[in-house]
Chains A and B, each alone.
Chain A
């Protein structure tokens, strides 16, 4: 295989077949994919299906703790998991810029294989396009995902007075990590993305019989976006204790240096859960068993103090509204 991806690799001819066999089939090995039909033929165990799609255009392609491939798998797996659906099958389309290094592409594909193993999901259909230089910035990936719903009724409409809010991990790691990696800013830190598949912890919550009202992964717009969307959709007030929101020291450092708030930064492996107060301890006990969610914390509750608002109670005895994030905070974060 040549060291760089050429236009011929996307032409549909022999070079394309070689690329597919030697790279994609090698690492995404499963019998459905290897049948090489025009479409994957699937049998689902349930008629209640969750179906999602996502595109990944993150820049830079490689960052501490992950790359665009890992992000693509975890991101799609998480979209399904947030519906209480067991992730089963993915499609994956690659749009590759002419001249892209083969070795980098292989590294990305291997990351995807490793990430899929964590939830058991499989890529069963794919597509490869190569575009001339400048057509895409290195590599773009599009996915679609299907899952079988195992817990019904999760919805942003379900928040009820008295419910509590749990966050599964430190907030803002992914956004801060990407920002710190951007060349223009020239920051150096050990900060890693929180990119992770969340199906295993979600499955454990379902199996433990935890009642879940709402569930969402806090991607673009971060914790602030999720809480504001929930408050708006359910027409409630969410009151959060700022001191209880877990934030890594280095994320605080990035925020101090650049004037941001960690609640606006994207996450790629952190979820927000709304559930009845009586279920909270059970949920925290379950989440603490998994490395991806061991830093979980109960951060707030649902009230009727205001409508469609999120209130932050500060450690200094004051309160303020946590407004939804606005504007071009950080482009191409996922």
Chain B
């Protein structure tokens, strides 16, 4: 699946009055993958998604979805996308089924196809039992599921998920993750925004870190992690071990300076991960007569990536995204 990218943005700029929501965002999302947009509140994630979904006209730059310009060919884009926002966009007074049939028909399905498709989706999202109830009687998790179903009813090739798991309980979150994986397996391109580094790590093939309305880092989760400091071995020494001897023993394997912790029982050894490395280090320590309680390979988390790139932790910034300018 290495044909034309599903989403391509060049120098996107969007201002809300004096607030600069996007400051020249560049992005290439390959077709058929799960792509994560990662950033704190106010970074511009939602604004970017709204531009791609033809809901917002950019002030500068251009964006294409499946080769169609989001401004000049919005109609072409709309027939190929599905959008799920942070809040369930449903008619509270209609039944779950009536909502899906309505969205299906407005997605240009014929009435009978919309009904068939609605029943399929209700089944797939385990909502068949609640199908005849008004949405206002639904729980939060059921609404999200129905909302997802609604965004899929028109057979989208590209699906935008704007913070799909924000506010969900762990069960519902696991379900959403499972669904994302299924959709990706079926060939859908998914662009997913999240504040949760773990979520991006779990789901996304590639990740763009956004801060201040532009992409500040891009790559696979692994690339991002190694760019930030890569791996290190955590060596826990037995009480009373010779720290100096231990450092000397592991030095040949280190790619940087070795940091013992305050009580001298734990060493953090920067390394380049390789086959059998841990074994060799343990053997070297053993040969040097150092008693070891534990050796584990530690990899930088996306949290570390985020912290080192932006200088603050994800979600620690609380200014609002430009979404209220809708």
Do the two chains bind? no
List residues of A whose CB falls within 8 A of some B CB: none
